[in-house]
Amino acid sequence: MKKLLTYSLSLLSIPLITMMPVLAQRSASSVSVKIGYFNEPLVKASFPAAAGSETLKATAESQLRKDLDDANKQIQEMKDQKKSADEVQKAIDNAQISIRAKQQALAELVQSQNAVVRDSIMQAVNAVGREKGLDLVVSGEGLFMGGKTVLDSGTDITNDVVKKLTPQAVSQK
């Protein structure tokens, strides 16, 4: 049984040994890749939905601060009126529950809006990349190494992405 097992394993290794030079040749060949890049902050600044997302976030934060201030004033008034500790604690608990619920709802709304903006930008980048025959598109904001190489040999598609996202703004100009 041992001889049979050894023999069968050696038969399996023969094809692998004979293919090694072929595998080595494949990994040594170079591949030409067309790279594009875009300035994501500039695209977001030019995209009205992204600005709306930032406005929504600011409004949500402002509303939460106002609600928190109102709750604190109400609790302070209760303390000034010498309400019982149980009543004050109940008001605190209710305010915390209410503010947490609003905070979660507003966070979900902002996150949803950000996802829509990100999806729109991604679709525009993909469309422009395909139109220009690019193999890879990177955001300059997320590039930590090789930036000069990308800038020198890559294609800047920032303006094309902005045009794709805001065709009505381009047609009005």
**Mean pLDDT of all residues in 147-169:** 80
The whole-angstrom separation of Cα 33 and Cα 149 is 13
For the entire predicted model, the pTM comes to 0.62
pLDDT of 18 reads 52
pLDDT of 162 reads 92
State pLDDT tens for residues 115-155.
Answer: 999 999 999 999 999 999 999 888 877 776 767 777 777 88
pLDDT of 29 reads 65
The whole-angstrom separation of Cα 173 and Cα 171 is 6
pLDDT of 172 reads 42
For the chain, domain boundaries = 25-172
User: Residue 114 contacts by C-beta under 8 Å, 6 or more apart in sequence?
Assistant: 53
pLDDT of 93 reads 92
Q: Is the pLDDT of residue 6 over 70?
A: no
Residue 35: which H helix or E strand, with range? strand 35-38
Q: What are the C-alpha distances in Å from 105 to residues 55, 96, 112, 137?
A: 16, 14, 11, 34
In single-letter form, the type of residue at position 33 comes to V
The whole-angstrom separation of Cα 121 and Cα 111 is 15
The whole-angstrom separation of Cα 154 and Cα 115 is 27
pLDDT of 27 reads 57
- Choose the weakest-confidence range: 18-27, 62-71, 116-125, 143-152: 18-27
The whole-angstrom separation of Cα 74 and Cα 80 is 10
Mean pLDDT of the chain: 80
For 25-172, CATH number out of 3.90.1150.10, 1.20.1530.20, 3.30.910.20, 3.90.226.30 equals: 3.30.910.20
